[in-house]
Amino acid sequence: MEKLIKIGRLFYGIGVVALGIHQLIIKKFRSEILAPFPAWAHNNSIFPILVGIALLLAGIIISGVFTVRFIDTKKVCLYLGFGFLVSVIASHLPYIIMLSAEKTPDFQVWINAIEALTYSGGAFVMAGSFAENNIIRSEKNFTSILEKLIPFGRIFYSILIILFGLSHFAFASFIATMVPKWLPAPMFWTYFFGVALVVSGISIIFKLLIKPIALLLAFTLLLFFLFFHIPDAFANPSEGGGNEIVRALICLLFCGIALVIALTNNRKKQI
């Protein structure tokens, strides 16, 4: 079980590394990392570059590829989760609220905000996969406050999963075109996976059969990664500065979160 948890952390870490590298390549903020507000943050490439470096380092540490003795990986997860949460509260929500009537936020604007919330939730889920730190719990500091957000990680994550599932019904015709050609009855699979995603998200929020369903969700997302995102990344490797490759690795990030949720749901901090 511990090996699978480590695989989940690896998948999440790889996704965060991909986000960081992509920002270093394009030298601007990805839309889900920071909304157009505040404008000053977008006026100088140093800000997205610094954030990209921070994401790169955090992702490497969380992945477990390298072990740094003097760095507490759990704290890295907590502060990464907090960083993404600040992005949602201080950037995405103000941008959505302050848009004029002529610039009513479209679906993608909301997706960007919820995706940032999902990254935050994933980081808190990863933090909950580590053993409790008695030092942290005994001290009344900012880190101990962040620990209280760990149980919300799975909820933040599930919101996007449910939204993805609903999109299979709202945009069924479009999503059906993404089903691999070798798979018959594309509309059936579009609706089938739509239902599966919605049920998975609800199950994880309310902790109903959470282990088997989260494991099935992780397996489903791994299939999406292998049979949809990977072929698309190979077909369009340079589009958006490698954005299709990043999207593939973000799917792997989502897979890792589901895997860790499934295998840590009985731990005190996950409950």
| Kind plus residue range of the DSSP H or E element containing 81 | helix 73-87
Does residue 269 lie in a domain region?
A: no
**CB-CB contact of 118 with 154 (8 Å):** no
pTM for the complete prediction? 0.93
Spatial separation of the C-alpha atoms in residues 168 and 161, rounded to whole Å:
11
Spatial separation of the C-alpha atoms in residues 254 and 157, rounded to whole Å:
8
Average pLDDT in the 100-116 region? 79
**C-alpha distances in Å from residue 13, one per residue of 56, 77, 150:** 9, 10, 17
Does residue 85 lie in a domain region?
A: yes
pLDDT in tens, 212-246: 999 999 999 999 999 999 999 999 888 888 999 99
Reduce the DSSP state of residue 111 to 3 states and report it. helix
Spatial separation of the C-alpha atoms in residues 59 and 11, rounded to whole Å:
10
pLDDT of the residue at 138: 54
Does residue 16 lie in a domain region?
A: yes
Does residue 270 lie in a domain region?
A: no
Query: What b/e string do you get for 64-87 counting C-beta neighbours within 10 Å, with b at 16 or more?
Result: eeeeeeeebbbbbbbbbbbbbbeb
The total number of structural domains in the chain stands at: 1
pLDDT of the residue at 271: 35
Does residue 123 lie in a domain region?
A: yes
Mean pLDDT of the chain: 91
pLDDT in tens, 32-62: 999 999 999 999 999 999 999 999 999 999 9
Spatial separation of the C-alpha atoms in residues 243 and 149, rounded to whole Å:
30
Does residue 50 lie in a domain region?
A: yes
Does residue 88 lie in a domain region?
A: yes
Does residue 271 lie in a domain region?
A: no
Average pLDDT in the 140-167 region? 95
pLDDT in tens, 73-89: 999 999 999 999 999 99
Spatial separation of the C-alpha atoms in residues 126 and 114, rounded to whole Å:
18
Question: pLDDT band for position 270 (50/70/90)?
Answer: very low
Residue with tokens 């099935």: 216
* pLDDT value at 101 more than 70: no
Domain interval for residue 164 = 2-264
